[in-house]
Amino acid sequence: MDLRGRPKCCSLHLGILPLIVVALVFFGYGFVSHRSQELGDSEAVTRVAVGELDVQEVVALSRIVYTQPKALTPSRKDVLVLTPWLAPIIWEGTFNIDILNEQFRLQNTTVGLTVFAIKKYVVFLKLFLETAEQQFMVGHKVIYYVFTDRPADVPQVPLGAGRKLVVLTVRNYTRWQDVSMHRMEMISRLSEQRFLHEVDYLVCADVDMKFSDHVGVEILSALFGTLHPGFYSRSREAFTYERRPKSQAYIPRDEGDFYYAGGFFGGSVVEVYRLTKACHQAMMEDKANGIEAVWHDESYLNKYLLYHKPTKVLSPEYVWDQQLLGWPSIMKKLRYVAVPKNHQAIRN
């Protein structure tokens, strides 16, 4: 203790205190100054962003008159219209095409439609394109991508404004199964090289079909699949999934949401690229192991969509075979239907 009875340590603390205060003031000033600079930078970024927004094109909005939706009145009572993961299932009566057309018009959407016309299947191309011009994405920009080994046989079909046809020459294969499975490889490769720069959405369709009713922007979503017309009312145990565990397309009997048709699927270019690339890689792995999935590319498509849930599901209105299945009352529209044919004769 010192002469006044105060501990020496206390005197030492009193001597250091002014230095601590000075240090806190110095560092506090630096922090405030740095923070002010950060805020200033943030404000500058905000000013740039607002400035950019100011020069954006102002799009004229159209007035649309339509019946008010009723929260307590379901659009359809006879079918499932929403999946357990909250993806809409598209049936006639569940959407207003005028509202949707306006939304996609504001986005200036371009849709790509891929179709494979290999060997004798080129004979279906004329009807496919003619009916697409009448029913597919009417009023929107469309690019038809025709994959074929017979470019000279591609028909000259008059196209509407904002629509064009691109012929992509590809090789054929001896077996029709190989033709079918290599679609995934070619779509994935062209998605990366070309489609990504030319269109917003891709729709992948079979050529031996025709558009018999409206097929429009109601189908567009990040990723969509279509309920197979032969299985939409059946239990998962009856689905013709690949059941061999050694295959990359294998799905156990206690799994599965729906059975999707291989003849009509799509989505954004990025999502279609991911789907087709994954399916092709799975096929190549199976091929290396001497395995071929029971329903070829459709089997791999179903495996992918089981574990990468589609953001929209299309009803069987969008893939139907009236010759085999008739026209049940539950189908208000038949939009994309099979053309009567002799598959064996064409494949040979």
Q: Which residues are catalytic?
A: 298
Task: Determine contact, residues 301/260, Cβ cutoff 8 Å.
Answer: yes
Looking at the DSSP bridge assignments, the partners of residue 267 are: 202, 223
Question: Whole-angstrom Cα distance, residue 101 to residue 214?
Answer: 12
Q: Residue with structure tokens 């003619």?
A: 130
By CB atoms closer than 10 A (0-12, 13-18, 19+), residue 65 is exposed
Q: Among candidates 163, 101, 161, which has minimal Cα distance to 129? A: 163
Q: How many CB atoms lie within 10 A of CB 121?
A: 24
At 254, which amino acid appears? D
Looking at the DSSP bridge assignments, the partners of residue 111 are: 142, 201
Looking at the DSSP bridge assignments, the partners of residue 265 are: 204
Question: Whole-angstrom Cα distance, residue 157 to residue 5?
Answer: 109
